């Protein structure tokens, strides 16, 4: 089957954070209208919608969110499908949108992610998020997601000498980037000492090692590359889309110091794009916890196993350094409304490759990547992007 090249011609985001006065519909509209305006496309032109939420029923009592999103954005009578893949829901929706356009089934597809997480208590939110792991063997036994990633962190520290200060440097870098992002939940810088003094959540992970509970939405508009310049003078081509999975529960993994789904998805993405890790200029990785970014940098092939923590602490992944990582602020600084995160990552890369990222702009960025993880690593979605010729 001959597949068409696919481009993103419009992106939009809501402000991420504790949006007390905004409901699920408001967040959808804020991001969706911005994306349609960015793409110079009217709502009646949209042919298909993939909407992603992880736990909208638990958070706000609303299921059937794809139809709600289509209704809210004026996409009357089109097919609309909800994607749920834990924290990788957004990346999975983007991949399905890519497949729909590449296959020729649809020409203009919207992918949108949203989550409204702050209307419940932190305990209720933790229970909802815990469903991304094995409910029977993990959540029911009392372990939380900070606990699962703490196990990975402890093992990485044991095998490779990774330190708590090195993990803290991930949060420091991402908060610095978030301070330059108008959409970010936390627009303030922090220090290593701030992280080290913050409340212990699950040893060795402290409060400032953890991404927050967030409200927010993000939307992207996809079209065939051959038609892209009809809508936008600077379309961004998706040159690879890959996804892989692993065991749902951490206890059955081959290793606690790698996420195999990330490695497989990355290898497939590099093969599709005919590129290597060294060709990437800017990447958004899934830093739900500081150790997660360290694992991602190794599993995506940017560093050998055990080398990423020191490299990050040495400043090799700060803005306009060796490799610019999480310029949006990542999940830690920008926020993590779980259904929206994967599409927010794509929006950030689109802005970077267009040269529209303002204070956080990566110089001469030509190739970007996004990496979105579900649960403790049972799902990983990797996309690679280039500026269209």
Question: 210 catalytic, yes or no?
Answer: no
Question: 106 catalytic, yes or no?
Answer: no
Quote the pLDDT of residue 2: 80
Residue 331 contacts residue 287 (beta carbons within 8 Å): yes
Q: What is the pLDDT of residues 57-81, one digit of tens each?
A: 999 999 999 999 999 999 989 999 9
Cα 337 from Cα 149, distance rounded (Å): 19
Cis amide prior to 204 (ω within 30 degrees):
yes
Cα 338 from Cα 88, distance rounded (Å): 8
Cα 187 from Cα 85, distance rounded (Å): 28
The one catalytic residue among 87, 210, 288, 334: 87
Q: Is 239 helix (H, G, I), strand (E, B) or coil?
A: strand
Phi-psi region of 40 (alpha: psi -120 to 50; beta: other; left: phi over 0): left
The one catalytic residue among 106, 175, 336, 371: 336
Quote the pLDDT of residue 1: 67
| C-alpha 321, offset from chain centre | 21
Dihedral sign, Cα of residue 208, residue 210, residue 212, residue 213? negative
Cα 4 from Cα 6, distance rounded (Å): 6
Q: What is the pLDDT of residues 259-287, one digit of tens each?
A: 999 999 999 999 999 999 999 999 999 99
Q: What residue ranges of the chain have pLDDT lower than 50?
A: none
Quote the pLDDT of residue 38: 98
Domains and CATH numbers, the chain: 6-121+214-236 (3.40.47.10), 132-211+238-387 (3.40.47.10)
């Amino acid at each position: 089957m001959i597949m068409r090249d696919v481009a993103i011609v419009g992106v939009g985001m809501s402000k991420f954070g504790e949006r007390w006065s905004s409901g699920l519909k408001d967040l959808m509209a804020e991001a969706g209208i911005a994306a349609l305006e960015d793409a110079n496309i009217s709502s009646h032109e949209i042919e298909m919608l993939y909407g992603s939420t992880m736990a909208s029923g638990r958070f706000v009592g609303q299921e059937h969110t794809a139809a709600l999103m289509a209704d809210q954005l004026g996409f009357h009578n089109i097919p609309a499908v909800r994607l749920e893949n834990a924290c990788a829901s957004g990346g999975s929706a983007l991949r399905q949108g890519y497949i729909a356009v590449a296959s020729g089934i649809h020409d203009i597809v919207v992918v949108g992610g949203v989550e409204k997480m702050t209307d419940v208590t932190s305990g209720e939110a933790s229970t909802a998020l815990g469903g991304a792991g094995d409910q029977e063997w993990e959540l029911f036994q009392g372990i939380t997601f900070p606990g699962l990633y703490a196990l990975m962190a402890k093992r990485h520290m044991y095998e490779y000498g990774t330190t708590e200060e090195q993990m803290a440097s991930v949060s420091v870098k991402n908060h610095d980037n978030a301070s330059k992002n108008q959409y970010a939940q936390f627009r303030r810088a922090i220090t290593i000492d701030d992280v080290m003094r913050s409340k212990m959540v699950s040893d060795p992970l402290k409060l400032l090692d953890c991404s927050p509970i967030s409200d927010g939405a993000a939307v992207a508009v996809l079209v065939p590359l051959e038609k892209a310049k009809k809508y936008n003078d600077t379309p961004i081509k998706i040159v690879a889309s890959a996804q892989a999975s692993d065991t749902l529960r951490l206890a059955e993994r081959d290793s606690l110091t790698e996420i195999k789904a990330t490695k497989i998805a990355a290898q497939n993405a590099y093969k599709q794009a005919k590129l290597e890790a060294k060709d990437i200029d800017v990447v958004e990785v899934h830093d739900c916890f500081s150790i997660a970014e360290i694992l991602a940098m190794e599993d995506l092939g940017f560093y050998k196993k055990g080398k990423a923590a020191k490299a990050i602490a040495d400043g090799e992944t700060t803005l306009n350094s060796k490799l610019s990582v999480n310029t949006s602020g990542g999940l830690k600084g920008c926020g993590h409304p779980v259904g929206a995160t994967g599409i927010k990552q794509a929006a950030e890369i689109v802005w970077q490759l267009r040269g529209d990222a303002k204070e956080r702009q990566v110089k001469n960025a030509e190739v970007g990547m996004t990496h979105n993880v579900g649960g403790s690593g049972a799902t990983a979605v990797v996309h690679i992007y280039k500026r269209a010729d």
